[in-house]
Chain A
Amino acid sequence: MSLLKLEALSKKFGDHWALKEIDFSIAEGEIVGLVGPNGAGKTTLFNLITCRHRPTSGRVLFANKETTLCQPHEIQKLGISRTFQSSRPFAKMSALDNVVVGRVFGGHFHLFAQSTDIDSARQLLELVGLAHKEQTPAGDLTLSEQRRLDLARALATQPRLLLLDEVVAGFSPAAVKQAVDLVRRVRQRGVTLFIIDHFLSLSLRVSDRLLALDHGEKVAEGRPQEVMRNRGVIRAYLGTRHEDESHGE
Chain B
Amino acid sequence: MPKKETTSQKAIQRQVAWAVLGLVFLLLLPVFARYSDYVLQVFTHALLLATLAWAWNILGVSGSISLGHAAFFGAGAYTSAILSLDLGLSPWATIPLGGVLAAGIAAIMGLFCLRLRGAYFALATLAFVEIPKVITDNWDGLTRGSLGLVGLPGLPSLRLGSYHLDVSGSLVGSYYFVLSYGLVLLVLVTLMFRSNLGLAFQAIREEEIAAEAVGIEVQRYRLLSLLLSAFFTGITGACYGHLIRYLEPGLVYGLHFSAIPMIFAICGGRFTILGPALAALVLYPVDQFIFHPLLPAGHEFLYGAVIILAILFVPSGVWGQLRKGHFVSIKTGSIE
Using a CB–CB cutoff of 8 Å, the interface residues on chain A facing chain B are 50, 52, 71-73, 76-77, 81-82, 84, 88-94, 96-97, 100-102, 104-106, 109-113, 118, 132, 134-135, 137, 140, 150, 153-154, 156-157
Contacts and interface: CB of A to CB of B under 8 A. Distances in A.
Contacts of A72: 209, 212-213
A84 B196 contact: no
A72 B208 CA distance: 11
Interface stretch (B121-129, B131-139, B147-155, B198-206): B198-206
A135 B202 contact: no
B195 A112 contact: yes
A176 B23 CA distance: 54
Contacts of B331: 94, 96-97, 100, 113, 118, 134-135
Contact of A90 (B1, B206, B218, B325): B206
Nearest to A140: B325
Interface of B: 1, 4, 8, 194-197, 199-200, 202-203, 206-207, 209-218, 271, 325-327, 329-332
Nearest to B1: A132
B215 A88 contact: no
A15 B202 CA distance: 38
A116 B218 CA distance: 25
A97 B214 contact: no
Contacts of A150: 210
B197 A94 contact: no
Given A93-B329, A94-B331, A135-B332, A76 B213 contact: yes
Contact of A93 (B216, B217, B327): B327
B206 A93 contact: yes
A137 B196 CA distance: 18
A192 to B, nearest CB: 17
Given A112-B195, A118-B331, A140-B325, A88 B210 contact: yes
A90 B209 CA distance: 10
A156 B214 CA distance: 9
B330 A113 contact: yes
B210 A89 contact: yes
5 contacts: A72-B213, A96-B329, A104-B199, A106-B214, A154-B214
B214 A111 contact: no
Contacts of A135: 4, 8, 326, 331-332
A73 B207 contact: no
A122 to B, nearest CB: 9
Nearest to A94: B329
A97 B329 CA distance: 7
B207 A90 contact: yes
B206 A92 contact: yes
A91 B4 contact: no
B325 A92 contact: yes
Given A88-B207, A109-B196, A111-B196, A102 B330 contact: no
Contact of B210 (A77, A90, A100): A90
Contacts of A81: 213-214
Given A105-B200, A150-B210, 7 more contacts: A50-B213, A89-B210, A92-B327, A93-B203, A102-B214, A109-B196, A113-B195
For the complex of A and B, 10 pairs with smallest distance between CB atoms:
A90-B206, A88-B210, A76-B215, A105-B215, A72-B212, A88-B207, A137-B325, A102-B214, A104-B196, A101-B203
A111 B195 contact: yes
A101 B327 contact: no
A84 to B, nearest CB: 7
Nearest to B327: A92
Nearest to B194: A112
B210 to A, nearest CB: 4
A110 B197 CA distance: 9
A118 B325 CA distance: 20
A198 B331 CA distance: 37
Contacts of A137: 325, 327
A58 to B, nearest CB: 22
A157 B271 CA distance: 25
A90 B4 CA distance: 22
